[in-house]
Amino acid sequence: MSSRTYIGIDPGVSGGIAWDSGQLAAGIPMPETDSDICDMIAELIVGSENPKVTLVIEDVPKYVGTNVPGSSIFPLAFNCGLIRGVALAHKVPIILVKPHDWQRHFRLGTKKDAGSTTAWKNKLKAEAQRRFPHLKVTLKTADSLLILAFARESLLG
């Protein structure tokens, strides 16, 4: 087992949470309620066999342009803050990682190269499935699993 346990989080409403489970990883879609999100993060922190836990959260952009309405970005930012609050309450380190940083790690090209958002998301999902063949990877869990893989492969400790 690594000297540190990572919890990878895509904080979007259609995101997910992935974590180490012994030698294997596991992942779930983002819970639907604030309370369920808090409970799940706290359970993963407290229930970890490794006392060294770090949350690796996809960083929320401060500005996404005029094409993305606030009604889309607000839930993402809200969940990110909620998750960070739970981690801080448990005194767990938080690493924020920008999407282009964790995505570049896998050398899959870019969304523009893929031709469409759907094609890009499916490419990310296929990479997550390749790395975690024991899991049923979905579009909701793919990014969090790749954030977890990024943390395991590129962060020290």
Residue 18: give its domain's CATH number: 3.30.420.10
Tell me how far apart the alpha carbons of residues 118 and 122 are, in angstroms, rounded to a whole number.
6
Output the pTM of the full model: 0.90
Question: For a pLDDT cut of 70, what percent of the chain falls above it?
Answer: 87
| Of the listed ranges 6-15, 21-30, 103-112, the one predicted with least confidence | 21-30
- Cα–Cα distances (Å) from 133 to 2, 17, 68, 125, 127, in that order, read 20, 17, 34, 11, 10
68 compared with 150, residue with greater pLDDT: 150
pLDDT at 62 over 90: no
Q: What is the reported pLDDT for 32? A: 93
Q: What is the reported pLDDT for 10? A: 95
54-88 burial, b if ≥16 CB within 10 A, otherwise e? bbbbbebeeeeeeeeeeeebeebeebbebbbebbe
Q: Provide the domain limits for residue 59.
A: 5-154
pLDDT at 1 over 70: no
137 φ, ψ to 5°? -80, 135
Amino acid at 91: K
The burial of 99, by beta-carbon neighbours within 10 Å (0-12 exposed, 13-18 middle, 19 or more buried), is given as middle
Q: Which run of H or of E encompasses 153? A: helix 139-154
Residue 79: pLDDT band (50, 70, 90) is confident
Please state the domain count of the chain: 1
Q: Which two tokens mark 69?
A: 């309405």
Q: What is the reported pLDDT for 129? A: 97
Residues facing residue 117 across a β-bridge: none
CB-based contacts of 97, cutoff 8 Å, min separation 6: 56, 57, 58, 59, 147, 150, 151
Q: At what angle do helices 117-131 and 139-154 cross, to 10 degrees?
A: 60
pLDDT digit string, tens, across residues 94-151: 999 999 999 999 999 988 999 998 999 999 999 999 999 999 999 999 999 999 999 9
pLDDT at 70 over 80: no
Tell me how far apart the alpha carbons of residues 110 and 123 are, in angstroms, rounded to a whole number.
10
